[in-house]
Structure 1
Amino acid sequence: MNAYMTNGTFDFLKKIDDEHPEVDFYYMSGENSTLVYYESDGKSVFSSGRGYELVINNGDMKQSGYVVMNNIPVTDDGAPVFEDRFKKRQQNVDTMPGFQAFRLLRPKKGNTYVVLTQWASEKDFENWKNSDQFSKAHKDGGTKPPAYFADRPFVTTYRMVNPEDLK
């Protein structure tokens, strides 16, 4: 399974929705951008955008909620270790109140993985960050990044936008 995303203005992104009514797009509004995300077994419908392979697919994406994307550049040599670490981790994130979806996305081009979590609200995400489960899942995260990080990770956050509001 693949995942695709692209950025643009609402007006531009609305046209993509009109051209591909068979696709379940997820619209997100961030501080500096608007993003559209979808999952498919086929090729991307975006003329430009980013493509990923779904490594871990847990929960169902919803048309409402709060999305946090950890963008993590990983070295080629470190990719198997990075993925294995996520596969073995018992985060219990899916048992947290407000949890909706988790995706580990391997880039088709480049080296920046995306760890996407979707929550019912920003408060639910903050509760997860302050939980014992979060502390256990991130206990190895000291001040020095792991050797498999190619660069500094960064976080982007989004609020879901109802596609009906775009019509």
Structure 2
Amino acid sequence: MNAYMTNGTFDFLKKLPKQHPDISFYFMKESASTLVYYEGEGKNVFASGRAYDIVIDNGDLQVNGFVVMNNIPVADEGKATFEDKFKQRQQDVETMPGFQAFRLLRPKNGNTYVVLTQWASESDFENWKNSDQFKQAHKGGDAKPPAYFLDRPFITSYHMVEVE
């Protein structure tokens, strides 16, 4: 399964559902920018979008909620190790109140993986960040990143928006 996303203005992107009625688009806003995400087997419908392979798929994305994307640049020689660590770790996040969905996305071009989590609310995400499960899953997180990280990871967060 593939995942696709693109950024742009809401007024431009809100036309997509009418142009592609067979696709379930998810709209997310971060200040003045809008991100549109969808999953499918077909060709990318975005003229300037990003394409990913879905490596891990837990939960169902919802049209409402809060999304956090951890963007992690990984060197080619470290991709297998990086994915294996995610596949073997216990997914305590799924048991947290407010959890909706998790995706590990491998880039089809480039080196930046996306770890996407969706929550019912921003406060549910904050509760996860302050939980013992989070501390266990991220122990050693203040240490130097693994050698296969090309750069420091960065986080983007979004509030889901419905298109009328």
| TM-score normalised by length of structure 2 | 0.97
Contact in 1 for aligned 2:8/2:35 (Cα 8 Å): yes
- Identical pairs, percent: 71
Q: Which residue of 2 aligns with 1:26?
A: 26
Structure 2 residue ranges without an equivalent (≥5)? none
Name the Cα RMSD after superposition: 0.9
**1:40-51 counterparts in 2 under 5 A?**
40-51=40-51
| Separation in structure 2 between the aligned mates of residue 163 and residue 15 of structure 1, nearest angstrom | 9
Contact in 1 for aligned 2:3/2:53 (Cα 8 Å): yes
Q: Which residue of 2 aligns with 1:143?
A: 143
Contact in 1 for aligned 2:10/2:33 (Cα 8 Å): no
Q: CA deviation at 1:86?
A: 0.4
Q: What code does the residue aligned with 2:161 have?
A: V
Q: What code does the residue aligned with 1:147 have?
A: A
SS in structure 1 of the partner of residue 35 of structure 2? strand
* 2:71 pairs with 1:67: no
Contact in 2 for aligned 1:91/1:133 (Cα 8 Å): no
Q: Which residue of 1 aligns with 2:85?
A: 85
| Separation in structure 1 between the aligned mates of residue 161 and residue 88 of structure 2, nearest angstrom | 33
Q: What code does the residue aligned with 1:88 have?
A: Q
SS in structure 1 of the partner of residue 155 of structure 2? strand
How many residues align? The count is: 164
* 2:159 pairs with 1:159: yes
Q: What code does the residue aligned with 2:118 have?
A: Q
Structure 1 residue ranges without an equivalent (≥5)? none
Contact in 2 for aligned 1:91/1:134 (Cα 8 Å): no
**1:58-137 counterparts in 2 under 5 A?**
58-137=58-137
| Separation in structure 2 between the aligned mates of residue 149 and residue 114 of structure 1, nearest angstrom | 13
SS in structure 2 of the partner of residue 78 of structure 1? helix
Contact in 2 for aligned 1:7/1:33 (Cα 8 Å): yes
